Amino acid sequence: MPVEYAACEYGQTRGIMESHFQREMGALYRDHHGWLRGWLRKKLGNAFDAADLAHDTYLRVLSTGRAPHDDDSRRYLARIANCLVIDLFRRRHIETAYLETLAALPEPVAPSPETRALVLEALIEIDTLLSRLPAKARTAFLLCKLEGLGYREIAEQLQVSVSSVEKYIAQALRECYAVQFGSDA
């Protein structure tokens, strides 16, 4: 088969697949967007956040490149939306704690709005990273980095071996490295 023909055939197949996916996504949106916004509005008590998270839910589905089966659509959308609600509450909790800390600072020491935004973004990224770690690895890492405890002290507190603490810290550092430099680094 000539290369030009194969490329043309591939392009046609890809175009058919894309248009099928677009039709599926259009139907998913038409059939369930109103329901999803209403479900989120009940959960959040706020139409604006509900609209934003409904939009973000469909963006997540689009990024997967595949639509759910018809009989699973609402459950699939609800699962994605629920994760987004959890992320929203987590971000707001972090933001509130940060703003309360800033409010306690004297005015001349308070950071600029740009610095606040950067710090808040970094705090949310750190929280996301820490939430992916197993509980013992997260605790060991925080005890080491925030409390300044040595591995032996952490091992005693967690009731594990020092070598386990070394593995926990290494796991946490690998996650930090992956976030900083990408998982391929």
pLDDT digits (tens, 9 = 90+) for 113-165: 898 889 888 888 888 888 889 999 999 999 998 889 999 999 999 999 999 99
The percent of residues in the chain predicted with pLDDT above 90, rounded, is 46
Name the pLDDT band for 184 (thresholds 50, 70, 90): low
Q: What is the Cα–Cα distance from 87 to 124, expressed in whole angstroms?
A: 9
pLDDT at 17 exceeding the cut of 60: no
pLDDT at 73 exceeding the cut of 80: yes
Average pLDDT over residues 50-77: 90
Range from 1-15, 25-39, 139-153 carrying the lowest mean pLDDT:
1-15
Name the pLDDT band for 170 (thresholds 50, 70, 90): very high
Name the pLDDT band for 92 (thresholds 50, 70, 90): very high
Give the pTM.
0.65
pLDDT at 18 exceeding the cut of 60: no
Q: What domains sit in the chain, N to C, each tagged with a CATH number?
A: 11-104 (1.10.1740), 113-181 (1.10.10.10)
Q: What is the Cα–Cα distance from 9 to 108, expressed in whole angstroms?
A: 66
